[in-house]
Structure 1
Amino acid sequence: MLQMIQRQNEVIEKQTNTIEEQMKTIDKQELEINNLQDRVVKLERSDSQKQKSSSEIFTDVSTPNGTILSYEKDHMHNEDSKSKFFRRLLTPEVAHNSVAFYAYISNDFGGVGKHHVFVYDTEVTNQGNAYNKHTGVFTAPTTGLYAFCYTAFASGEHVAGETGNYGEVSVQLVHNGAYKGSIYVDTETNWEEEMATGFAILMLQAGDDVVTMSKDVGQGSYHSNDIGRWSFSGFQIS
């Protein structure tokens, strides 16, 4: 009988301990719930303040190029106006130190000798003034990565007073006197025309020169007119 009572007491004691642990867990959960409720209230207040600020006047908003923009409260209720405003903030403008050029030869020509430097005398774009239309030389103003494109057009006619063979030449892209790429055009019969374009990406140091020149003596004539142009272009990537 005594043993039975002892076992019952042990069971009761275990149940009591279990109940106490559960009460502690409940108290802990109530505390966590209260903390979460406080966080929700704070987040709701913060969101309300953000919505309020977005409908107020925007002043002294600095863009990367130093432009100051302002925006009136009433316009923020118009989604189209709001979208245009933020596009103005996010859209980059042309930097003052950007480098890009595009030039072409203005007329048909011939008489290309060995290592002849092609001069693209008509500037279309020369942002940064790094290309010289009188010499055909591009000079890197700053160290960086640059992209270049060059096009040649051989004629199947004697358009510049030549006789004999028709247009043929190998055009090289040259960096500080070193070969970096080439294209080749060749016409064998009358009225045959051929055009080629080359592209290259070069790492340049400030002051480096890039030109296009013939590898050997060219033959015949070359078109550069509204049908197709000899052109040279490039821009700084980074």
Structure 2
Amino acid sequence: MVMKGGLYLVYAFLLRTVLCRSENVAFTLGQTHHLYLSQGQQVTYDKVITNISAHFDHKGSFICRQPGIYAFHFFSLAHAESRIWFELYKNTEYICSVYGYTPHGYADTGNSALLHLNNNDTVSIRAHQAYNSTLYGTADQIYSTFTGVLLRSDVTEHSSGNMAFSVGLDHHFHATNGEIVRYNDLIVQNTAYNPLSGRFTAPTDGTYIFYYHGLAQGDQVLWLELYHNGEYVNAAYGYTDSSYADAGNSAILHLHTGDQVYVKARSGHAVDVYGTPNQVYATFSGTLLASVQHNTDDSRSENSFSVGLSHHFSGTNLIFDRVFSNRGGGYSPVTGHFTAKESGVYVFHFHALSRSDTEVWTELYHNYHYIDSLYGRSNGEYAAGSNAAVLDLVAGDTVFLKSRRSTNSYYGTTDQVYCTFSGYKLELEEEPSIGNPGEIIG
């Protein structure tokens, strides 16, 4: 085939357009059985909750086929009076950990990290090399999950490509006066996050999501709070007598250029966060979900919500009263349900804290179809739990949380918001597509 002059340029443009298109890559895997893992064994999952163009090897490691920035979330529940100690790896590089054990009940664990992946990079979860782990799971009680989402593909050319950061804490952190946590382990570096101040500064107007997790030092308190400028958003609390407590939270916020978001210790309380160079439990991550272009109707920012519970609650139908963001009005504060206004791939996060000596047992539903759960119970103590899921929704589908039992008791006050529910429609920025160029004859 011979192509001449401008015709060659047209062909090159068409070919580049097709090659530069981005497709959603997202998955959530779950474990439906109790699972014992020996030292260093890779965690496996027996249930595919959702898989949108994700690839895995025979060991269960995620394999990157579309380079870009990914978000990974992993959660597990330790069997009664048993230990979980898992680590997230990119290829052979250690990223972060979760640890859970309580002598008084079941320990829920979780963490999140953003990673930049190149083609054929792998991501896996493994048991710690020096300890065995035992996780809890049944067909209708899925607590252990592994979720991955392509947030931004390398093939896109957009100014928001540098809007993601992910950082960890590689040393112990002690605070008594509400100090800001200055995370120094740069997992995904971005100049918008300043490790000297611990603050993220929004480079542009838009809708952002943030995740933070931590582990208390032995027999100490973890009490971290997310702030937007000087305003309290929500918190993560953990304490386990004679052990280490895990907790985390997330939020979707609408920011203006120059707004700051950061994690700080609870003022007036001693807070002790665990961290060493090879044991990173405390993480803080964030990314732009949708930019706002002035004088335009940017529908990409109209498919997310983030809500919290600002009062104690007992019952089955969880309705959140604190609205952090509700772009497009998909979340109903009357029913507690999120209704998808557009078909697509959505990502959901949920967190809870029990009242003292009670349990929280929260389940995520898609059109009354059970997806996964969080659980928290530690005799005589407050217990935290978290989970996440990717769901492929059709316009009109509903997603909601409910308690497993009417006796479940959730902690919340106006300045102590631990129970949250957030979700967003996954949207990849991409070059315009004009289809298959077909055969060109010159």
* TM-score, length basis structure 2: 0.29
Choose which of 127, 132, 140 in structure 1 pairs with 2:332: 132
Is 1:151 the counterpart of 2:151? The answer is no
Secondary structure of the structure 1 residue equivalent to 2:299: coil
Q: What residue in structure 2 maps to residue 214 of structure 1? A: 403
Give 1:199 deviation, angstroms: 0.7
Aligned pairs (5 A) from 1:196-235: 196-219=385-408, 221-225=409-413, 226-235=415-424
Q: What residue in structure 2 maps to residue 93 of structure 1? A: 291
How many angstroms apart in 2 are the aligned matches of 1:187 and 1:217?
18
Aligned pairs (5 A) from 1:54-73: none
How many angstroms apart in 2 are the aligned matches of 1:208 and 1:228?
27
Q: What residue in structure 1 maps to residue 365 of structure 2? A: 174
* TM-score, length basis structure 1: 0.52
Give 1:148 deviation, angstroms: 0.4
Alpha-carbon deviations, 1:155-180, whole Å to 9, x = none? 11xxxxxxxxx321311000000001
Give 1:109 deviation, angstroms: 2.4
Alpha-carbon deviations, 1:181-236, whole Å to 9, x = none? 100011311xx1111111111000000000000123334x4211334421110100
How many angstroms apart in 1 are the aligned matches of 2:328 and 2:401?
20
Choose which of 334, 337, 341 in structure 2 pairs with 1:141: 341
How many angstroms apart in 2 are the aligned matches of 1:228 and 1:123?
11
Secondary structure of the structure 1 residue equivalent to 2:350: strand
What is the number of equivalent residue pairs in this alignment? Answer: 135
How many angstroms apart in 2 are the aligned matches of 1:216 and 1:222?
12
Q: Which amino acid aligns with 1:93?
A: S
Contact residue 360 and residue 410 of structure 2 kept, 8 A: no
Identity of matched residues, %: 30
Q: Which has the higher strand share?
A: 2
Is 1:183 the counterpart of 2:368? The answer is no
Contact residue 154 and residue 187 of structure 1 kept, 8 A: no
Alpha-carbon deviations, 1:34-53, whole Å to 9, x = none? xxxxxxxxxxxxxxxxxxxx
Q: Which has the higher helix share?
A: 1
Contact residue 353 and residue 360 of structure 2 kept, 8 A: no
Contact residue 306 and residue 323 of structure 2 kept, 8 A: yes
Secondary structure of the structure 2 residue equivalent to 1:131: coil
How many angstroms apart in 2 are the aligned matches of 1:182 and 1:104?
17
Contact residue 172 and residue 212 of structure 1 kept, 8 A: yes
How many angstroms apart in 2 are the aligned matches of 1:136 and 1:213?
9
Q: Which amino acid aligns with 2:410?
A: Y
Contact residue 337 and residue 400 of structure 2 kept, 8 A: yes
Q: Which has the higher contact order (CA 8 A, sep 6+)?
A: 1
Secondary structure of the structure 2 residue equivalent to 1:183: strand
Secondary structure of the structure 1 residue equivalent to 2:418: coil
Contact residue 310 and residue 416 of structure 2 kept, 8 A: no
Contact residue 130 and residue 139 of structure 1 kept, 8 A: yes
Contact residue 145 and residue 202 of structure 1 kept, 8 A: yes
Runs of 4+ in structure 1 deviating by more than 6 angstroms, as ranges, are none
Secondary structure of the structure 1 residue equivalent to 2:406: coil
Contact residue 350 and residue 386 of structure 2 kept, 8 A: yes
How many angstroms apart in 1 are the aligned matches of 2:420 and 2:327?
16
Q: What residue in structure 2 maps to residue 104 of structure 1? A: 308
Contact residue 175 and residue 211 of structure 1 kept, 8 A: yes
How many angstroms apart in 2 are the aligned matches of 1:128 and 1:216?
31
Q: What residue in structure 1 maps to residue 117 of structure 2? A: none
How many angstroms apart in 1 are the aligned matches of 2:313 and 2:328?
29
Aligned pairs (5 A) from 1:67-86: none
Q: What residue in structure 2 maps to residue 41 of structure 1? A: none
Q: Which amino acid aligns with 2:309?
A: I
Secondary structure of the structure 2 residue equivalent to 1:132: coil
The alpha-carbon distance between structure 1 residues 93 and 217, as it changes in their structure 2 partners (threshold 3 A), is closer
Gaps of 5+ in 1: 1-63, 65-86, 157-165
Secondary structure of the structure 1 residue equivalent to 2:317: coil
How many angstroms apart in 1 are the aligned matches of 2:313 and 2:371?
25
Q: Which amino acid aligns with 2:389?
A: A
Q: Which amino acid aligns with 1:223?
A: Y
Root mean square deviation, CA, Å: 2.3
Structure whose CA Rg is larger: 1
